[in-house]
């Protein structure tokens, strides 16, 4: 909408409704590396991202072959929690696995 136009009551109501009902979404990705085991990545996708075994394996292989892969889309707090959980679990096992989030 043109910034200089005066908004109708309906436009203002729609805007505030949208703000209240539609939080921003974030994509969470895993990155490939040479050291993290395939089994561990599949485990991460099953336990942290709740992927069924077959899909977890497909995503892991996609990351292995392409360098990056989508694990899921979440609201900001959930995405932040997933990223932290991946890094915490990987750190415990001394794997350099990286997980990033990007606003949609
Ligand atoms: N490239 C790793 C290997 O060959 C496997 C791997 C897959 C690592 C996905 C990280 O996000 C990753 N062991």
Full-model pTM: 0.84
Protein residue closest via CA to atom 5 of ligand 1: 38
CA separation for the pair 15, 18 (Å, rounded):
5
Distance 100 CA to ligand 1 centre (A): 15
Q: What domains are there in the chain, each with its CATH number?
A: 22-103 (3.30.1390.10)
Please work out whether the CB of residue 59 comes within 6 Å of at least one atom of ligand 1: no
Least confident of 15-19, 25-29, 32-36, 95-99: 15-19
Confidence band, pLDDT 50/70/90 cuts, at residue 12 = very low
> Radius of gyration (Cα) for the chain, nearest Å?
19
Do 36 and 26 contact (CB within 8 A), yes or no?
no
CA separation for the pair 48, 29 (Å, rounded):
12
**DSSP conformation letters of 57-69:** HHHHHHHHHHSEE
CA separation for the pair 55, 75 (Å, rounded):
22
pLDDT in tens, 61-84: 999 999 999 999 999 999 999 999
pLDDT in tens, 20-50: 789 999 999 999 999 999 999 999 999 999 9
Joined together, the tokens standing for residue 50 give 């709740």
């Amino acid at each position: 909408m043109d910034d200089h136009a005066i908004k109708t009551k309906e436009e203002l109501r729609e805007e505030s409704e949208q703000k209240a009902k539609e939080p921003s979404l974030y994509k969470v990705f895993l990155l490939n590396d040479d050291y993290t085991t395939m089994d561990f990545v599949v485990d991460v996708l099953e336990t942290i991202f709740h992927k069924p075994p077959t899909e977890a394996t497909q995503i892991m292989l996609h990351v292995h072959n392409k360098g990056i892969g989508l694990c899921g889309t979440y609201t900001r707090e959930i995405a932040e929690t997933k990223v932290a959980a991946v890094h915490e679990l990987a750190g415990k096992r001394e794997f350099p696995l990286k997980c990033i989030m990007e606003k949609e």
